């Protein structure tokens, strides 16, 4: 382990040249302070877990002190937002400090979000709100705890500066770690500005650095697209399985390596409503839960357009048609694990279809339904429980028959299901509680507590609750009515 002063920084992205970025150091700030630090994320770059407490760390990652070897820059990109092309995007407030090589020879981007305006800022202040930074920090670490590919959040650093959105808000800097910050929109930028040579250069760079095993293949461009399709399909299948709704699946928020990227008005499903969107700007439900797989396909088509003529239109069409079968397969596998079932035949499909009907019709809590199912003994699925209606009893009996044909004991099935179905998710009221304490009382303890719980969401965490003297059921109970299907602004 090392301290932040001795991180091994470099930045391969500078090899591409100034057409791809603006060289830009983060702006300095007055009296920065630590809000939260993730020791789990710190391990990725061999950073000491106690480093977050040091003033040196705070100064280096707030922009007040240069990092040796770092070559900070703001990346150029564009993208389709809500279906319409926007040519004027780019890192308006983000600075890629550089990359860190860890002891495993893994390379990780270190990025500051809210580090001051760049030439891509479009007249905005280049800052991020504390509220949005807390939300992204918690979501990043929560999805990682769920085993879903995601960018990570190393820390939130507060800055003593008011910024103006719909009202004056406190500002902060989010320290983000990612395998790459290249997006679908990175390719769109050069495609729509008539720079095919730079599309090719970016593609070669991406293959060389993120898919090096195919770098010498004659059909490497096609394989790159295949893998992007596969990873995107698998990512969205995982989102669907846990009830995560990204909220703003614009092409500039889609990573080429299939990681969850750029958290804004996201949400987790509480009572199951298939067309729920957590983004109050999404008035037509474009990015609703039920639309996410389709939007993944739409976004991949936009990426495909940028790769012509490097890949023939006919080949791209053949590859893109593999997306839906891939998504369906990945999703069936995810749901099989959640239900403790391995035989994924037509009876399984009927079971899942009926389950979603019941979840929606009965307004059942999505996450807690699966925990209930894992704890429901095999021999009681005949359901003599008066609290269960006839349709639910019928479904439980059908489920029990499929469990019995697997030949797996209740104990074995429970272990499998409890390891696949979280007890804790990042519910709206939990986020709001952390935000209220932080914004109204400058008390950041709930952010830390919530992060720790969500790092291991499948396990009952008695020691943590005993340590803090809190009710364990508070973090796993159904979302209170007043927070159900709550929507959030894109404003950050």
Three-class SS of 335-367: HHHHHCCCCCCHHHHHHHHHHHHHHHHHCCEHH
Average pLDDT over residues 282-301: 98
Q: Check residue 492 and give its pLDDT.
A: 57
Query: Among the listed ranges 133-147, 280-294, 455-469, which one has the minimum average pLDDT value?
Result: 455-469
Average pLDDT over residues 59-84: 96
Q: Which of 186, 185, 193, 168 is nearest to 248 (CA)?
A: 185
Instruction: Kindly tell me the burial class for residue 7, based on how many C-beta atoms sit within 10 Å of its own C-beta (0-12, 13-18, 19 or more).
Output: buried
What does the domain layout of the chain look like in residue ranges? 4-183, 341-407
Q: What is the pLDDT of residues 389-429, one digit of tens each?
A: 899 999 999 999 999 999 999 999 999 999 999 999 999 99
Q: Residue 383: is its pLDDT beyond 60? A: no
Q: Check residue 489 and give its pLDDT.
A: 62
Per-residue pLDDT band for 384 (boundaries 50, 70, 90) equals: very low
Which entry of 109, 252, 262, 365 is annotated as an active-site residue?
252
Distance, CA of 365 to CA of 273 (rounded, Å)? 10
Average pLDDT over residues 33-43: 98
Q: How far is Cα of residue 446 from the mean position of the Cα atoms in its chain?
A: 21
Q: Which of 116, 124, 114 is nearest to 164 (CA)?
A: 124
Distance, CA of 186 to CA of 194 (rounded, Å)? 13
Average of per-residue pLDDT values in the chain: 94
Q: Residue 215: is its pLDDT beyond 80? A: yes
Distance, CA of 450 to CA of 277 (rounded, Å)? 23
Two tokens, residue 397: 């009996």
Q: What is the pLDDT of residues 459-485, one digit of tens each?
A: 888 888 888 778 878 899 999 888 876
Q: Residue 153: is its pLDDT beyond 70? A: yes
Render the burial of 229-257: b for 16+ CB within 10 Å, e for the rest: bbbbbbbbbbbbbbbbbbbbbbbbbbbbb
The answer to whether 36 is a known catalytic residue is no
Q: Residue 381: is its pLDDT beyond 50? A: no
């Amino acid at each position: 382990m090392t301290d932040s002063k001795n991180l091994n920084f470099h930045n391969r992205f500078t090899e591409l040249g100034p057409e791809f970025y603006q060289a830009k150091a983060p702006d300095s700030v007055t009296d920065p302070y630590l809000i939260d630090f993730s020791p789990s994320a710190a391990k990725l770059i061999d950073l000491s877990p106690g480093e977050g407490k040091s003033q040196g760390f705070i100064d280096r990652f707030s922009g007040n002190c240069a990092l040796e070897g770092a070559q900070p820059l703001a990346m150029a990109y564009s993208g389709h937002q809500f279906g319409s092309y926007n040519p004027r995007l780019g890192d308006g407030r983000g600075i890629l400090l550089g990359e860190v090589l860890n002891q495993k020879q893994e390379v990780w981007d270190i990025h500051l979000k809210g580090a001051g305006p760049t030439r891509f800022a479009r007249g905005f202040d280049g800052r991020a709100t504390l509220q949005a930074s807390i939300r992204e920090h918690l979501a990043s670490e929560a999805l990682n705890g769920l085993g879903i590919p995601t960018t990570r959040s190393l820390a939130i650093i507060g800055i003593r500066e008011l910024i103006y959105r719909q009202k004056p808000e406190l500002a902060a800097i989010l320290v983000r770690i990612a395998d790459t910050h290249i997006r679908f929109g990175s390719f769109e930028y050069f495609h729509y500005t008539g720079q095919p040579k730079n599309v090719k250069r970016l593609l070669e760079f991406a293959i060389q650095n993120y898919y090096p095993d195919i770098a010498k293949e004659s059909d490497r461009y096609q394989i790159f697209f295949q893998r992007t399709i596969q990873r995107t399909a698998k990512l969205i299948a995982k989102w669907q399985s846990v009830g995560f709704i990204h909220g703003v699946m614009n092409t500039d928020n889609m990573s080429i390596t299939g990681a969850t990227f750029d958290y804004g008005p996201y949400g987790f499903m509480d009572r199951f409503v298939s067309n729920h969107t957590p983004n109050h700007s999404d008035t037509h439900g474009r990015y609703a839960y039920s639309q996410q797989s389709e939007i993944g396909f739409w976004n991949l088509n936009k990426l495909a357009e940028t790769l012509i003529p490097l890949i023939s239109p006919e080949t791209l069409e053949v590859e893109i048609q593999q997306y839906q079968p891939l998504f369906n397969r990945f999703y069936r596998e995810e749901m099989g694990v959640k239900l403790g079932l391995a035989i994924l035949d037509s009876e399984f499909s009927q079971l899942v279809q009926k389950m979603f009907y019941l979840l929606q019709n009965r307004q059942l809590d999505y996450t807690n339904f699966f925990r209930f199912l894992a704890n429901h003994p095999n021999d009681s699925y005949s359901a003599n429980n008066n609290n269960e209606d006839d349709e639910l009893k019928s479904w439980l009996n059908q489920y029990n028959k499929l469990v019995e044909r697997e030949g797996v004991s209740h104990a074995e099935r429970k272990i499998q299901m409890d390891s696949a179905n979280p007890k804790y998710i990042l519910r709206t009221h939990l986020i709001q509680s952390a935000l209220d304490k932080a914004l109204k009382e400058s008390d950041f303890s709930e952010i830390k507590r919530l992060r720790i719980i969500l790092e291991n969401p499948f396990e009952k965490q008695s020691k943590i609750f005993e340590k803090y003297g809190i009710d364990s059921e508070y973090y796993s109970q159904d979302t209170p009515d007043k927070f159900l299907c709550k929507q959030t602004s894109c404003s950050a």
